[in-house]
Structure 1
Amino acid sequence: MSPVTEPLHRPPFQPAKLLMLVGDFVEDYEVMVPFQALQMVGHTVHAVCPGKRSGDRVRTAIHDFEGDQTYSEKPGHNFVLNAAFDDIKPEDYDGLVVPGGRAPEYLRLNQRVLEIIRYFDSSGKPIAALCHGPQLLAAARVIAGKRLNAYPACAPEVELAGGTFVPLEVTEAITDGNLVTGPAWPAHPAWLAQYLQVLEASLTK
């Protein structure tokens, strides 16, 4: 007879409810992959956009790195929202996800978006921002004293908002407290893995 092995035990999984802030021309991979991957592991993700409701769509853009001085841009998918921006209550959520692309540069003009980000920061709830996503964090003034990364062209905004820009390889990510950031979609494996660690620690406090 083969020896009996003890089953592996881990703490019971605690599903989280996550909010994702998106807008037209959000980066395609940076909205699609986290939205699907976080649900795959058992979390609920509500993707919302100012001025739009559940079932509405945002257009996405694919940013690629093809040897030019900056990224190239191509049409992406139409991403379907699954919650209404006007109906959300930030206190109902355990964490925030901010993809990059072109959307953050104009979403930061929306005061309600900035208030939502400030809520997650002040409550210490996990925040994940990728690529141009830290533009929103800088506009909300929540990165002073933080070490973070973003798309390299956003480094001046990070520094002007009081953060410390930490250069990383495009496949890497960095965690500082409740904040997880990375340079672009090639960092998804590291960025999502670190965010899940921060999220689990937050849920089991």
Structure 2
Amino acid sequence: MGTGIDHRAVKPSAARRWTSFAALLALGVGYIAAYLFFSAHSQNFLVVQRNGRAMAFGETHPATSPITWQFGQNSPDNARLGSGWLAAPSYPGVRLLTQDGWIVFVTGRPDTDMLLRLDALVLTTQAVPRNTIEVSINGTSLGSWQRGGADAREPIEVRVPRSLVADGQWHVRVHVDHIGSIFGRDTGAARNGQDLLLLAIGLRRADSSNEPAR
């Protein structure tokens, strides 16, 4: 006994629905993957672009030790800064915006180890009273330091092997474990995060009597 329904017409319709669903799903996954890819690479592009600008300046303005550079609003030394920093009149030095900040410059080929000094102010919170600062040069980590509270202004000194900067190019990365939002309050117990303000850096020849401060 026939039902009057042509089953041959039903099956193609269901197949088309599944095909359309699969196509939409694939399209959605593709959009998400593309967004994540370009988001990650656009950030990397900005870092490379900013660091490249500092390197280009360094190549036309090579430095000779001993060096002292002061950072802050309208400072000409800001040209040595790569990605990650912001200068504004509301605070001294330059403020670290992300967990990684770069200083990029060029010197002559060193004939001895060098001593790099970072003068910074490390601001912390009651919840996390200490922050860890790691310094890497040309991809090699040269140590980490705890700062906050009583030693928040204590300089960080890094002994740099001459072999690490044999070509005279310096890509200095300053990494912190904790960083706060620039949109948060900056004073009192209500502060929502950590801050690092880079005030100056110095570079000089190292000798046996110049041991890095820990």
With the length of structure 2 as denominator, give the TM-score of the two structures: 0.27
Task: State which structure, 1 or 2, has the greater radius of gyration over its C-alpha atoms.
Answer: 2
Q: Which has the higher contact order (CA 8 A, sep 6+)?
A: 2
With the length of structure 1 as denominator, give the TM-score of the two structures: 0.28
Name the structure with the higher strand share: 2
